[in-house]
Each structure stands twice: as C-alpha cells, then as structure tokens.
Amino acid sequence: MRRALGLLVLATSILAAANVVRAGEIKPHMAGWENVLALEYGPAEYRGKPVVEGTVTNISPYDLVGIRLLVDTLDSAGQITAQKVAWVPGDLRGGGQLYFSVPTTPAPAYRVRVFTYDRVEAIGGDHR
C-alpha cells in the first residue's frame, strides 16, 4: 500500500512539473486597432506612485465599449519586463476621447497598445 501511494505521489509530482510553462508575451487581440483608436500617453505620478496616463481617441464613427489597454513596461534595451491589461473607464462615442491612468512600476520606457474593445451595433435608440 505504501509503495503504491509513493508511486502515485511520484507520478503526480512529475506530471505537475511537466505542466509548468513559462508565460509568454501578451499581444493585442484586436488586429488593426490603430485604424480605430489613437493613443497618446506618457509616464506620470499619482499620489507619489508611478502611472502611465493618457488619452484614447476614437477615430472611427462607431461607438465602442469595454476598451482594455495593454501596458508594457520596458527596460533600457526596449525589452518587456512586465505587462498589465487595464480597463479604460467609460463608453467611447465615435470621434470621442477618454482619459486613462494605469498604475505601473518605475521603468525607462512604456508602450501602450489596445488589447480589446467591443463595437456597438445598435439600431436606433440608446444602446445602454
């Protein structure tokens, strides 16, 4: 019985170790987002803590909701050291603009890209 239990523990440990996978780089889910949204951003501080803040502008005629940004923290060589996905608060009407502020860690540089958004397909009336 003990031997069977020992073999079971050993087999489980080997399988668990085999399933450990290094996380890869997160990439935007929306191909061509640059044709729909424009970003302006830069490093800043909020209450003494580092943030990346800026605006997202809807350059399309469509209303967008559920906008999420991908913020990359970069080292001096331009390599990604950390990534964070953050929501942009609010709905973005066609031609409109929203402000965002994402807490981060101090770094030489940052890159912000659009991770996902939903385009509102409504016929008449308010979509909310």
Q: CB 72: neighbour CB atoms within 10 A? A: 21
Kindly report, residue by residue over 78-128, the tens digit of the pLDDT.
999 999 999 999 999 999 999 999 999 999 999 999 999 999 986 565 655
**What is the rounded distance in angstroms from the CA atom of residue 45 to the CA atom of residue 95?**
28
**What is the rounded distance in angstroms from the CA atom of residue 87 to the CA atom of residue 25?**
19
Q: Where are the domains of the chain?
A: 29-119
Q: Rounded to the nearest 5°, which phi and psi values hold at 104?
A: -150, -170
Q: For residue 95, give Cα distances in angstroms to 38, 47, 57, 98.
A: 10, 31, 7, 10
Greatest alpha-carbon pair distance for the chain in Å reads 71
Kindly report, residue by residue over 32-53, the tens digit of the pLDDT.
899 999 999 999 999 999 999 9
Q: 31 pLDDT band (50/70/90 cuts)?
A: confident
Q: Which fold is adopted by the domain 29-119?
A: Immunoglobulin-like (2.60.40)
Q: 28 pLDDT band (50/70/90 cuts)?
A: confident
What was the pLDDT predicted at 8? 46
